[in-house]
Amino acid sequence: MKYRIVAITGIVTLLMTGSCREEHRGTIIARVADAELTLEEANEHIDTTQGPRDRQLAAYVTSWIDAELIHQEAKLTKIDQSAALDRRLRDLKRQFVNQEYLDRYLYADSAVITEQSVREYYDAHHSEFFAREDLVMLRLAVLGSREMASTFISRLVRNADWDAAVGDSALRSSIIALPPPKYYSRHTLFPPELWKIAMTLDANETSFPVKIAAGYAVLQPLSIVREGKPAPFDLAWEEVGQRMIVENRRKKYEELLGTLRKRYRVELFTGAIRQSDTLRSDTHE
């Protein structure tokens, strides 16, 4: 397989230089019997985030050749001319066309939501959003020495003002890291001993200096949310937004069906009994 990919890469490179071009279709890079693959068609199937482009291209050309070899042999059995296959193809085409239409109709603008609308939805449904694990909103500072960390803590104890302590000119040069306050979980706060210490503190209580690889860390929890407890807005906003998008799309989908049931005549036939459309919703009358 390695030599096959290398060989195909070489062929592709040669063809890309212009030795085989068709202005009306593009650059042909592979042919099996009367079937041809162009560079432009292959590029549509390449995901450059999955690896180097040349490797992706070579792999796709290999898979295309294998599939086309089987397709050429299958056509000899006349399987492509069967009525059952025609029905399946029609069904697949309908599914793809429907999905393309819904992608354009439902998803193009239904995801537009504002921060205010998210907040209003949360206020109306806040009891429905819960923390999925223990979380702590944490202030964190890392200083270069235990002495500076202890001085920093003394400033906090005396002034009870984190921003004032951070802004102290005598300490500023010793601060190695000062991330903004945010929620941490057991899986996002490193090293692990910081999580253990954070969970022993009360809100606004300051830790002792904790030795870590980068220096000495000082922690100050602002709030702790236990697993299964209601999640505050700044934790739940993303989930709230996603739920709003889903609900907006569902509503738009139902409105679309209601409109289409008025536009097109629908009849149901069960055996020899002809029925009117009993699926029509009164809400769309």
The two structure tokens encoding residue 240: 């709230």
Residue tagged 């291209």 (tokens)? 57
pLDDT digits (tens, 9 = 90+) for 125-172: 999 999 999 999 999 999 999 999 999 999 888 877 898 888 888 888
**Beta-bridge mates of residue 210:** 217
63 pLDDT higher than 70: yes
What does the alpha-carbon distance between residue 261 and residue 241 come to, in Å, rounded to a whole number? 30
Average pLDDT, the chain: 85
pLDDT per residue over 217-264, tens digit each?
A: 999 999 999 999 999 999 999 999 999 999 999 999 999 999 999 999
Q: Do residues 191 and 197 touch, judged by C-beta distance below 8 A?
A: no
Which residues, 6 or more positions from 92, have their beta carbon under 8 angstroms from its beta carbon?
A: none
Residues 171-189 have a mean pLDDT of 94
For residue 50, name the pLDDT band (cuts at 50, 70, 90).
confident
- As a whole number, mean pLDDT of residues 45-63 equals 88
pLDDT for 198 equals 95
Looking at the DSSP bridge assignments, the partners of residue 38 are: 28
Asked if 240 and 225 count as a contact pair (C-beta separation under 8 A), the reply is: no
Going by the DSSP 8-state scheme, the letter that residue 212 receives in this structure is E
- For 191-222, what is each residue's pLDDT tens digit? 999 999 999 999 999 999 999 999 999 999 99
pLDDT grade for 111, boundaries at 50, 70 and 90: low
Lowest mean pLDDT among 1-5, 160-164, 180-184: 1-5
Mean pLDDT over 40-49 rounds to 88
Confidence of residue 71 (pLDDT cuts 50, 70, 90): very high
Whether the per-residue pLDDT at 24 is higher than 60: the answer is no
pLDDT at residue 284 greater than cutoff 90 = no
| Closest-CA residue to 137 (of 202, 72, 184) | 184
Instruction: State yes or no: pLDDT of 45 exceeds 50.
Output: yes
Q: Which residues of 226-246 are buried (b: 16+ CB within 10 A; e: fewer)?
A: eeeeebbeebbbeebbebbee
Confidence of residue 178 (pLDDT cuts 50, 70, 90): very high
> CA-based angle 168:172:176, to the nearest 5?
145
- Quick one: pLDDT at residue 3? 41
The Cα–Cα gap between 222 and 231 comes to: 14
pLDDT at 26 over 60: yes
- d(CA 207, CA 201) in angstroms, rounded, equals 7
Ramachandran bin of 134, using left for φ above 0, alpha for ψ from -120 to 50, beta for the remaining angles: beta
**Residue 284 gets which letter from DSSP?**
G
Asked if 199 contacts 124 with a C-beta cutoff of 8 angstroms, the reply is no
How many Å separate Cα 29 from the centre of its chain?
34
Q: Report the candidate in 68, 226, 50 with the shortest Cα–Cα distance to residue 133.
A: 226
Band (pLDDT 50/70/90 cuts) for residue 100 is very high
pLDDT band at 279 (very low <50, low <70, confident <90, very high): low
| C-beta separation of 106 from 249 below 8 A | yes
Residue whose tokens read 């739940």: 236
DSSP type of residue 130: B
For 259-278, how does the pLDDT look when each residue is reduced to its tens digit (9 = 90+)? 999 999 988 887 655 555 55
Q: pLDDT higher for 268 or 73?
A: 73
